Amino acid sequence: MSALLEVKAVTKRFGGLTANHNISFDVAENEILSVIGPNGAGKSTLFKMISSFLPTTSGEVLFKGERISNLKPHIVARKGVVRTFQETTIFKSMTVRESVIVAQHLRAKASLAGYFWGSKTALADVAAFGAYADELIDFLGLGDIRNELASNLPQGHLRALGIAIGLATDPTVLLLDEPFAGMNHDETMQMVALVKKVRDDRGVTVLLVEHDMPAVMNISDRIVVLNFGEMIAEGTPTQIQNNEKVIEAYLGSADDEIGV
Amino acid sequence: MLKLTMGQWIGLGVFLAAIFIAVPALIAASGRTDFYFTLTSVALLSIASAGVWLMFYIGRINIGQGAFALIGAYVSAILVTKAGMSFWLTLPIAGLFAAFVAVLIGLPILRLRGVYFAMISLVLTQVVTLTALALPITNGAKGITSIPLPGAISIFGLTLVPDFASMENSRLAFYYTACFLMVLTFAAMYRLVNSRLGHICRSMQQNEELAASIGINIAYIRIVVFAISSFFGGIGGAMFGSIAQSVYPSTFVVTDSVNFMLNCFLGGLGYVFGPMLGTLVLYFGWDLLFESGKYQLLIYSSLLIAAMLVLPNGLLSLRLDMFRRSGK
């Protein structure tokens, strides 16, 4: 397996606080890799650095051998690494279809001025955006609510909409920010199935940050575990389940009962 | 290209007939030629307000449009009086110069959001006013006066626009010019908002981070929109200076910047034509209350507050509600 995305010795400090210390791992093409860890382990910080929403203090992230850290988010998206957000980050006053249409920005062939004047390329783009939006919406099972305003949607649909927006950019790697947070068991399993479908049918590599353990064990090819900003383990779900350091981090060791 | 429904074409036709035929006819019949100046002002101020509205559209409260109107007025006045250029040539230059200044200022300040951007933009008008007072080329507090009226435009010996100075009624000519510019501005705005560009602007208004994550260069779009906004400000200001035939540092002050913003609020932030209606109502509202003397400001501001409480989405929301009720 060749590495598609390489996280190399990434460190992030906020003043005196080290949120991530010397994190290194690879993501192979077409795999689902999860980054897990207790609250405050530095998962979200790492996630933001991979998508260039935060600069690294040291270290770098490579995508197909090219550095993608310490750039601008839209440039990283352009290269094919696209993040999703938790459900509060949506286009509130747009319908599902409008959101998925606007998200196809990277598929645009016409220039901005072309859209103003209504050039041929622009008109072709607009038609293609509509068709592709419908395709994605059906693929993700959002057909019934395509003309519903995003602000009226329940949580589960919003997560799926978030993934639809991410997919609309034609990403190579999709970064999912806690896709199962706050969901009950059934909803989580539906979401797990959806994420697997995205990987299998669309050939998208998925890197996700999560702390719902059962879901992560179910969905991941490999898992990276963070604790207090340090990477403490990496491996397959079975390896991680039997890793003493991981068990210690989640349950606390015998002489460290109070504290965490 | 631009697809309008039958109703919209009729609406456009009625509107054009009203401003280009009915209004001049009414004014001629009633003999109230002073209305020309008022209505010309409304048209020009609505152009500047359109720019502010566009900034609202990407989620920025711009209380600095007066700065760009003043810049436009000075650029045009200086080029006409000192370089002897034709006013018609200075008009686009004034707009472009205002846009250029907007790019320079926008690079650092457009990162700010919400009230922080609003506060910085509020300072801009004052900065430009003070600069105009200090610079030798703007002639300080004395301003630039006796600006000649716009000359003729002719192509291949064919006179498209006659010399304003030779006209019996230059007020009417200014009125037509201002209305023409206003129609052009709002046509461009309508097109922009209803194209994919408008869709991109709305995505930025609703969530800049999400917009960035889908690959939109938000910093670039913000600069472009700020430049367009300021271009409108510069055009409106330059035309205004030409009508008044003078420009002073106090031609556009902070109050004007606030008014540009209020025009948008009053007309409706969700409607392209909001700033046009808002400017008309606000401008005439102020004048109509002149009779009330020292209570003018009190009544005016009370009515404004009431309007915003009752119609938070602006005056145009009234019209749309009526449409909806009649089962549109």
Whether residue B299 lies inside any domain: the answer is no
The percentage of chain A sitting over the pLDDT mark of 90, rounded to a whole number, equals 67
Question: Which residues of B fall below an 8 Å CB-CB distance to A?
Answer: 1-2, 191-192, 195-197, 199-200, 202-203, 206-207, 209-210, 212-219, 224
| Min distance B1 CA to chain A CA atoms (Å) | 5
pLDDT band of residue A249 (cuts 50, 70, 90) is: confident
Residue of B nearest to A122 (CA): B196
Number of inter-chain CB pairs under 8 A, A vs B:
86
The reply to whether residue B209 touches residue A53, judged by beta carbons under 8 angstroms, is yes
Instruction: Mark whether A190 and A62 lie in a shared domain.
Output: yes
Token pair 């002639």 is at which residue?
B139
- Establish if B26 belongs to a structural domain: no
Q: Which residues 6+ apart lie within 8 Å of B265 measured at CB? A: B278, B308, B314
Whether B313 is in a domain gets the answer no
- Domain-embedded: residue B7: no
In a mutational test of the B interface, the residue from A81, A102, A151, A170 whose CB has the highest number of chain B CBs within 10 Å is A102
Q: Which residue intervals of chain B are DSSP H helices?
A: 6-17, 23-30, 34-57, 65-82, 87-109, 114-134, 170-193, 196-206, 208-213, 218-244, 254-267, 274-288, 296-310, 316-325
Mutation to test the B interface, candidates A115, A117, A176, most B Cβ within 10 Å: A115
Q: What is the pLDDT of residue B1?
A: 47
Please tell me the predicted confidence (pLDDT) of residue A255: 53
Q: A107, A139, A170 — which closes off a domain?
A: A170
CATH number, domain at A248? 3.40.50.300
Of A68-77, A128-137, A239-248, least confident by mean pLDDT is: A239-248
Which ipTM did the prediction report? 0.89
**Whose CA is closest to B146, among B14, B34, B267, B244?**
B244
pLDDT of residue B310: 83
* Residue of B196, B207, B217, B231 for testing the chain A interface, max A β-carbons within 10 Å: B196
Do A179 and A257 reside in the same domain of the chain?
yes
Q: Which of B214, B218, B219 sits opposite A169 (nearest CB)?
A: B214
Q: Which of B191, B210, B225 to mutate to test the interface with A (most CBs of A within 10 A)?
A: B210
Contacts for B251 with CB less than 8 Å, ≥ 6 apart: B69, B70, B73, B143, B237, B240, B241, B244
Cβ–Cβ < 8 Å for B222, B208: no
- A127 with A97, same domain: the answer is yes
Q: Residue A252 has what pLDDT?
A: 67
Average pLDDT over residues A142-163: 91
Give the one of B2, B196, B213 whose C-beta lies nearest to A77's C-beta: B213
Asked if the structure places residue B178 within a domain, the reply is yes
Determine whether B162 is exposed, middle or buried from the number of CB atoms within 10 Å of its CB (0-12, 13-18, 19+): middle
pTM of the predicted model over 0.95: no
Picking from A72, A93, A126, the nearest residue to B196 by CB comes out as A126
How deeply is B20 buried, as exposed, middle or buried, from its count of CB atoms within 10 A (0-12, 13-18, 19+)? middle
Please report which helix (H) or strand (E) contains residue A239, including its range.
helix A237-241
One pLDDT digit (tens) per residue for chain B, 328 residues: 457 788 888 989 999 999 999 998 898 888 888 888 889 999 999 999 999 999 999 999 999 999 999 999 999 999 999 998 999 999 999 999 999 999 999 999 999 988 899 999 999 999 999 999 999 888 888 889 888 888 887 777 677 777 887 777 788 889 999 999 999 999 999 999 999 999 999 999 999 999 999 999 999 999 999 999 999 999 999 999 999 999 999 999 999 999 999 999 888 888 899 999 999 998 988 888 887 888 888 888 888 888 888 887 778 777 655 555 443 3
Range of the domain at B97: 34-150+160-253
Please give the pLDDT value at position A259. Answer: 45
How many angstroms separate the CA atoms of B48 and B239, rounded? 11
Residue B189 lies in a domain: yes
Which one, of B229, B221, B177, lies nearest residue B199 by Cα?
B221
**Residues B131, B132, B133, B135: is their CA dihedral positive or negative?**
positive
A73·B207 Cβ contact <8 A: no
In which band, very low, low, confident or very high, does the pLDDT at A53 lie, cut at 50, 70 and 90?
A: very high
Do A101 and B199 lie within an 8 Å CB cutoff? yes
d(CA A161, CA A99): 8
Tokens standing for A166?
């991410």
The answer to whether residue B55 is domain-embedded is: yes
The tokens for B269 are 């932030």
Quick one: A95 and A63 in the same domain? no
Per-residue pLDDT at B103: 97
Taking the C-alpha atoms of residue B268 and residue B318, their distance in angstroms, rounded to an integer, is 10
**Strand A32-36 and strand A205-209: pairing?**
parallel
| Burial class for A119, CB neighbours closer than 10 Å (0-12, 13-18, 19+) | middle
> Which residue type is seen at A44?
S
pLDDT of A54 higher than 90: yes
Shared domain for A223 and A109, answered yes or no, is: no
Mean pLDDT value of segment A153-170: 92
* CA-closest candidate to residue B247, choices B123, B133, B125, B97: B133
Give the pLDDT score at B34. Answer: 83
Per-residue pLDDT of B133-189, as tens digits, reads 999 888 888 889 888 888 887 777 677 777 887 777 788 889 999 999 999 999 999
Per-residue confidence (pLDDT) for residue B2, from 0 to 100: 57
Helix axes A155-167, A120-139, angle to 10 degrees: 140
What pLDDT does residue B221 have? 95
Instruction: Calculate Rg over the CA atoms of chain A.
Output: 19
DSSP secondary structure, A150-200, as one string: GGG--HHHHHHHHHHHHHTT--SEEEEE-TTTT--HHHHHHHHHHHHHHHH
Is there a contact between A94 and B206 if contact means CB atoms under 8 Å apart? Answer: yes
- On whether both A61 and A187 belong to a single domain, the answer is yes
The amino acid at residue B149 is: L
Determine the pLDDT at residue B140: 86
* Chain B residues lying within 8 Å of A94, measured CB to CB: 202-203, 206
- Rounded Cα–Cα distance for residues B148 and B140 (Å): 20
A106 and B209 in contact by Cβ < 8 A?
Answer: no
B218 vs A contacts (CB less than 8 Å): 74
Cα–Cα distance measured from residue B65 to residue B70, given in angstroms and rounded to the nearest whole number: 9
Does the CA dihedral A77-A81-A82-A85 come out positive or negative?
A: negative
To the nearest 10°, the Cα dihedral for A228, A233, A239, A242? -40
Number of structural domains found in chain B: 1
Q: Quick one: A72 and A93 in the same domain?
A: no
Which of the pair, A211 or B15, is modelled with greater confidence? B15
Distances (CA, A) of A184 to A94, A161, A212, B1, B35: 27, 18, 10, 49, 67
Distance, C-alpha B177 to centroid of its chain: 14
Rounded to the nearest angstrom, the minimum Cα separation between B196 and chain A is 6
Instruction: Find all residues with CB under 8 Å of A50, minimum gap 6, and list them.
Output: A5, A7, A61, A68, A69, A81, A83, A175, A207
The pLDDT value given to residue B288 = 82
Q: Please name the residue of chain B whose CA is at the shortest distance from the CA of residue A117.
A: B1
What integer is the mean pLDDT of A154-182? 91
Q: Report the number of distinct structural domains present in chain A.
A: 2
The range of the structural domain enclosing residue A115 comes to 88-170
Residue B164: per-residue pLDDT: 80
Q: Do the chains contact at A89 and B224, CB–CB below 8 Å?
A: no
Provide the b/e sequence for B70-108 (b: ≥16 CB within 10 Å).
bbbbbbbbbbbbeeeeebeebbebbbbbbbebbeebbee
Distances (CA, A) of A241 to A175, A235, A238: 23, 10, 5
Q: What is the pLDDT of residue B326?
A: 44
Q: Check whether A253 has a pLDDT greater than 70.
A: no
